Structure 1
Amino acid sequence: MTRSPHGNPAFLSLAHLTLIDADPLTLVDAAAAGRFDAIGLRIVPPMPTDRIVPVIGDEVLIRDIERRLDATGIRVFDIEAVWLTPETDVVRLRPALELGARLGANHLLVVGNDPEAGRLRDNFAGLCDLAAGFGIGVALEMMSYVALNTLPKAFRLLDEVRRPNARLLIDALHLMRSGGKPADLVGLSPALFPYVHLCDAAAARPPDLERLRYEGRSGRFYPGEGELPLVDLMHALPADIAVAVEAPCAAYAGLSPLERARICGAATRALLSAAQAARTAGQWGKRE
């Protein structure tokens, strides 16, 4: 694994969902406290019912974010989260991409939640083209409780669209909950994966869609604190892949965002160190 400017075993980004109650400035401070290198900043609500701190168009807040990034050395790694639904109007996402480019984001996180395959394909292609104009890559995340919920569906969409800035974001939880496994990723081109969403969870899959959704949004564990085969996952992915920790954990909800980030960062570094040690010792696959 490559080493980050903070001396971590890999480049680490703190996904906003991990601290979804944190405003953007607090998220930056928390990332610095947890020795992360970057943040994933939520500037688009996934669904209309989701509430976020509005950033687009708020010039005062944007300048405050820029100053806080400069002061801490934290950067914006990705912006999120665009859910492509039957109601999506890709053109209306231009302000989000403009802001992402201004803040230096590399990636836009996208989820496919449209049951009509042709419309999903066209919207995804259009969004990739729009993002390319801003120099932003599109990270397609398959999720266990939306329409695009399996690896084969994600591969099919990427193959149909064939945009050079479109790549596949693997989330540890959603890979396992969709019936996938780390071995499914072995042998695929390293260029396919822009980064990985790391978290942990219990081994057992929740029994219904509603509890899958709750687990994904609130009931995850920090890396290494659950039973997912994370060491095998890291070995199946490129050795130098960037890691974004997306681990909203109800067990730590009573702590401050900065304290949660410190615990989460330490847990992640310990897990990645264990994965690196296992790779060096040739123990890949022992936990699967």
Structure 2
Amino acid sequence: MTQILSLHHMTATDLDACQLADEAAKQGCQAISTFTHVPAVLPADFPRVSDQASVRALRSRMTAGNLTLLNAEYFPLTTGVCLEDYRPGLSRAAGLGARQATTHVQIEDAAAQRDAFKAFSDLCAEYGLLLALEFTSTAKIKSLKDALHLIETAGEGNAVLTLDLLHAARTGVTVEQIAAIDGSLLGTVQICDGPAHMAPDQLRVESLTNRLPPGSGDLPLVAMLRSVPKGTPIEVEVPQHPAMKSNVSAHERIRQAIRGAKSVLERSLISPIGEGFAPS
């Protein structure tokens, strides 16, 4: 089985979705993740697939690059969220053949969390999408244990985990805990790198703007990836705003990120390496 390697749009938000697809194909990826819904907390000029013309254009570029859409971003569950507002973004995701729609939970009350997650899982199912839950140190679901509990108790059989190894490392997830995850509940593993430790007040900044290409930091990526079930899609998410502000091109940032990911994956031997996946 050839491992699926995906490029996340956060790696190069200075590109539009079609440009991202072109770069992903050039670097030997099999998938991308992009934004079919952008909540108001993100900048107005944040890249997005916002209408049917954009869907058609991206679908054409994905077909040309032999790519699929892994995750459609970003559908946060917040207090008072109106899930009906997410229908257009979910419809665009479905039109692009997306596998999953990504959420973070920002609701404090446990019962309200379950209700919102269950309702959104049902809504995603209407569009043929899995609901992918990502835990982070800055969300209300901030641990692997709590994420898996919510998926198992409120996911309606239509929810999976997005395991970002940066967030896993920053929240103390162990290799043994990763190995214990039911493979049927693991939708995607996201990789990047970083220093061994990060100040708590810098975690959000690191996550959104200042990650390192895989293999260039101190995170135990190889050991973590060896605990991941074979066949789990691997996604490269490496926002590097300092490099972008220093005029390092999107092409070069992506090239470094994908090259690092391929090297780390090769060392982890999590699956046989297919054509287009060997280190470049």
TM-score between the two structures when normalised by the length of structure 1: 0.88
**In structure 2, C-alpha distance between the alignment counterparts of 1:196 and 1:77, rounded to whole Å:** 11
> Which shifted more, 158-167 or 77-86?
158-167
1:196 Cα shift?
A: 0.3
- Shift in CA distance, 180/156, structure 1 to aligned 2, threshold 3 Å: same
Q: Which residue of 1 aligns with 2:275?
A: none
Q: Which residue of 2 aligns with 1:183?
A: 176
Give the unaligned 5+ runs of structure 2.
273-280
1:54 Cα shift?
A: 4.3
> Which shifted more, 179-188 or 24-33?
179-188
Query: Aligned with 2:70: secondary structure?
Result: strand
Q: Which residue of 2 aligns with 1:275?
A: 268
Query: Aligned with 1:184: secondary structure?
Result: helix
**In structure 1, C-alpha distance between the alignment counterparts of 2:72 and 2:229, rounded to whole Å:** 22
**In structure 1, C-alpha distance between the alignment counterparts of 2:10 and 2:99, rounded to whole Å:** 18
RMSD: 1.9
- Shift in CA distance, 40/171, structure 1 to aligned 2, threshold 3 Å: same
- Is it true that 1:224 corresponds to 2:218 in the alignment? no
Partner residue of 1:245 out of 236, 257, 267: 236
1:251 Cα shift?
A: 5.1
**In structure 2, C-alpha distance between the alignment counterparts of 1:73 and 1:199, rounded to whole Å:** 24
1:61 Cα shift?
A: 2.2
Q: What are the Cα deviations for residues 210-230 of structure 1, in whole angstroms up to 9, with x where unaligned?
A: x11100001111111111111
Q: Which residue of 2 aligns with 1:264?
A: 257
1:93 Cα shift?
A: 0.9
**In structure 2, C-alpha distance between the alignment counterparts of 1:246 and 1:50, rounded to whole Å:** 19
- Shift in CA distance, 144/46, structure 1 to aligned 2, threshold 3 Å: farther
Q: Which residue of 1 aligns with 2:65?
A: 72
Query: Aligned with 1:82: secondary structure?
Result: coil
**In structure 2, C-alpha distance between the alignment counterparts of 1:219 and 1:154, rounded to whole Å:** 24
Q: Which residue of 2 aligns with 1:55?
A: 49
- Is it true that 1:131 corresponds to 2:124 in the alignment? yes
**In structure 1, C-alpha distance between the alignment counterparts of 2:266 and 2:48, rounded to whole Å:** 37
Query: Aligned with 2:22: secondary structure?
Result: helix
**Corresponding residue pairs, total:** 269
Give the unaligned 5+ runs of structure 1.
4-9, 281-288
Query: Aligned with 1:272: secondary structure?
Result: helix
- Is it true that 1:38 corresponds to 2:26 in the alignment? no
- Is it true that 1:214 corresponds to 2:205 in the alignment? yes
Letter in 1 for 2:268: A
1:46 Cα shift?
A: 4.6
Query: Aligned with 1:263: secondary structure?
Result: helix
Q: Which residue of 2 aligns with 1:22?
A: 15
Letter in 2 for 1:276: L
